[in-house]
Amino acid sequence: MRGMYNRQVETLPATSLLLLLLTLSLLSGLWACSPSNAGTLPATSLPPTATKTRVPPLPTLPSITLTPTPLTCLSQPGELQNGEVPTEVRPTAFIVYLPPCYDHFTVRHYPVLYLLNGIPSPTDPFPIGEQWVRLGAPEAADELIHSGQSVPFIMVFPEDRYWNLDLGTRFGQYLLNDVIPYIDGHYRTLADRAHRALGGLSRGGGWAFQLGMTRPDLFGSLGLHSPAIFAENRPMLERWVRGMPPELWPRLYLDVGDNDRERLFNTSVEEVFTKYGLPHEWHLNTGAHDEAYWSAHVDEYIQWYAEGWP
């Protein structure tokens, strides 16, 4: 048998041998390319993992505070204007002080202070109310308003040019019936008693006394600075004070110099105020009946009036 096998191999045709070798070679290649673990399913490829990118926060902007541009007029002095009030006989002239920024704040209304002059001197007649201006009342008002010590307010300085004529005896009538209504109608005043003040020096103090005592319904504050109270009104002093309703008592300021010719009667006025419990400020200062005395105290006067307005 062994010899027969050998013979069959030896006699195998060349073509068959070549075919056998090619088959074995092919099977060997396939075996080499097969995966080592034929029973394991091929791994499923996973999608790439998403990477989170951190976005930096926006920078914080500094807070912006809007600051209004300050009005230039707030640091400027008030304005003085001249005017005239028609009356049944002749116009009455006046000077009006308008506070800083009056023209800017067009809807604002203001307290008003009426200040009356003394008798003009022959050499310096100040015919249209210039005495209080000369004494420094506008500058005193500017200082109070600029410093914030007072609300802004209006001041009116009416003339008393005809003091020594019959026409001058009607000054009080013109003030009440013509000047005050005109001012309230042409300027932005707070037209009520609480916001209206009246003051005067010398003869102007006499008018302030008469009008303040007889029309307390019109004036919330009354200033009497060295008042030269009229002879016909002196006997009425106690009656007027006694008859004034307490609810109409005004704020009162009375002052005089120790060398003033009106000192004795002014002292008796203060005694009557005290007797009837009429609240008031009383100042007996060093000085005479002249502009040197009033100019030395004008700041105190204007500050006292301004303190009466909330």
Q: Measure the CA–CA gap between 83 and 183, rounded to whole angstroms.
A: 10
SS3 261: coil
Q: Measure the CA–CA gap between 112 and 151, rounded to whole angstroms.
A: 11
The pLDDT value recorded for residue 126 is: 54
The pLDDT value recorded for residue 310 is: 78
The pLDDT value recorded for residue 162 is: 63
The pLDDT value recorded for residue 75 is: 86
Q: How many other C-beta atoms can be found within 10 angstroms of the C-beta atom of residue 274?
A: 12
Q: Measure the CA–CA gap between 250 and 222, rounded to whole angstroms.
A: 6
Q: What is this structure's pTM?
A: 0.76
In the numeric block, the tokens 């106690």 are attached to 238
The pairing of beta strand 251-257 with beta strand 79-85: unpaired
The pLDDT value recorded for residue 119 is: 83
Of the two residues 258 and 26, the one the predictor is more confident about is 258
Summary mean pLDDT of the chain: 82
Parse the chain into domains and list their residue ranges.
79-307
In this structure, of 21-25, 131-135, 208-212, the range with the lowest mean pLDDT score is: 21-25
Task: Based on DSSP, count helices (H) and strands (E) in the chain, helices before strands.
Answer: 10, 8
3-state secondary structure 166-187: HHHHHHHHHHHHHHHHHHHHHC
In this structure, of 40-44, 49-53, 138-142, 194-198, the range with the lowest mean pLDDT score is: 40-44
DSSP state of 176: I
DSSP 3-state percent helix, strand, coil across the chain (nearest 5): 40, 15, 40
Per-residue pLDDT of 32-74, as tens digits, reads 444 444 444 444 454 555 455 555 565 565 565 555 556 788 8
Average pLDDT of the segment spanning 249-258: 97
Decide yes or no: CATH 3.60.15.10 for domain 79-307.
no
Average pLDDT of the segment spanning 247-270: 97
Please report which confidence band the pLDDT of residue 86 belongs to, taking 50, 70 and 90 as the band edges. Answer: confident
In this structure, of 86-90, 242-246, 272-276, 287-291, the range with the lowest mean pLDDT score is: 86-90
Torsion from C-alpha of 224, 230, 194, 304, nearest 10 degrees: -10
Q: Measure the CA–CA gap between 97 and 34, rounded to whole angstroms.
A: 114
DSSP state of 178: I
The pLDDT value recorded for residue 58 is: 56
The pLDDT value recorded for residue 168 is: 60
